[in-house]
Amino acid sequence: MITKEVIDSIIEYTASENVKLEETLSGYTTFKIGGPAKCLVEIDTVKQLTDVSQYLKREKIPYYVLGNGSNTLFADEGYDGVVVHLGNKISDIRVEGNLIYAEAGAMLARVSKEAQKASLTGLEFAAGIPGTVGGGVVMNAGAYDGEMKQVVKAVSAVSPEGEFVTLSNEEATFGYRSSLMRHTGYVVTEVVFELQEGNADEILTKMNDFNERRRSKQPLEYPSAGSTFKRPEGYFAGKLIMDAGLRGYTVGGACVSEKHCGFVINKGGATAKDVVTLINDVKAKVKADTGIELEPEIEIIQ
């Protein structure tokens, strides 16, 4: 329950203008879907993030840490807890030799650009991923020839027990679109990337090439949360969906993209219910045709 006492405590750790009640979440996700959050708190500093998450953990209050919302589908009914939103204020980036220190709210595209400017190679793959550093490491985001696992040296976080900890790459136990942080409720505050020296022009060319490939193959003109399903081992979700005859398959405002069948897009006015129904229909048809179980990559918060 989000009582007045809870709200007052969150205000104490932040400021009254940072705390919003019954805030509609559709504006905070790239899917443009989602009802109101009981409480949404905008985080301005790492200290606020640490204090608020420690408090919520201690009091066992349901919360959801939201970066850029590019992998998140909130329910039409909204979220009955506290959404901890990392705005662009907790987004400092610092380059030291071949290390980059980036706060959790920094956009991956910016970190990638800073790496390029410093002639550091390794983060080109992240240039077009529309998420934050926090969301990126939690998801072990990846594309083309890279994933976070290859470039993360350390992750600073608040542990499930409320302790401030630093995890090494090994301790973060990255897997395909997964990490220790994703499954056990660590709140990421800062990430250290370790990159290699490279040539700034070559790095830029690679970033531009990756971004051009995205523009030509992905339905970036529509709201979505990127690839809806994980890649089943040995297959491509988009190809399985296309082969199942589901290109353009529509439920309400949600639709399997005709440009890239791996993306569910919001063609206009889609509800979370439309998206979830469509996902279930796609899973059932692919399973019936091939025996393969598709698993959502996106976070569905019901």
Ligand X SMILES: Cc1cc2nc3c(=O)[nH]c(=O)nc-3n(C[C@H](O)[C@H](O)[C@H](O)COP(=O)(O)OP(=O)(O)OC[C@H]3O[C@@H](n4cnc5c(N)ncnc54)[C@H](O)[C@@H]3O)c2cc1C
Q: Active-site residues: which are they?
A: 177, 227, 297
Q: Binding to ligand X by residue 187, rule CB under 6 A? A: yes
- Which residues within the stretch 14-33 sit at the binding site for ligand X (CB under 6 A)? 30
- Which residues within the stretch 126-165 sit at the binding site for ligand X (CB under 6 A)? 129-132, 134-136, 138-139, 141-143
Q: Binding to ligand X by residue 262, rule CB under 6 A? A: no
Sign of CA dihedral 141, 142, 143, 147: positive
> How long a stretch of residues is the chain?
302
> Whose structure tokens read 């531009």?
208
Helices and strands (H and E) in the chain: how many: 8, 19
Q: Binding to ligand X by residue 204, rule CB under 6 A? A: no
Q: At what angle do helices 108-117 and 200-217 cross, to 10 degrees?
A: 150
Least separation in angstroms between CB 189 and ligand X: 7
- Which residues within the stretch 88-117 sit at the binding site for ligand X (CB under 6 A)? 104
Q: Binding to ligand X by residue 71, rule CB under 6 A? A: yes
Distance of CA 235 to CAs 145, 230, 231, Å? Answer: 17, 10, 6
End-to-end CA distance of the chain: give it in Å, rounded: 16
- The count of other CB atoms within 10 Å of the CB of residue 12 is 12
Least separation in angstroms between CB 150 and ligand X: 13
Q: Binding to ligand X by residue 81, rule CB under 6 A? A: no
Pairing outcome for strands 250-251 and 19-24: unpaired
Q: Binding to ligand X by residue 181, rule CB under 6 A? A: yes
- CB of 230 or CB of 287, closer to ligand X: 230
Residues that bind ligand X (CB under 6 A): 30, 64-72, 86, 104, 129-132, 134-136, 138-139, 141-143, 181-182, 187-188, 218, 220, 224-226, 299
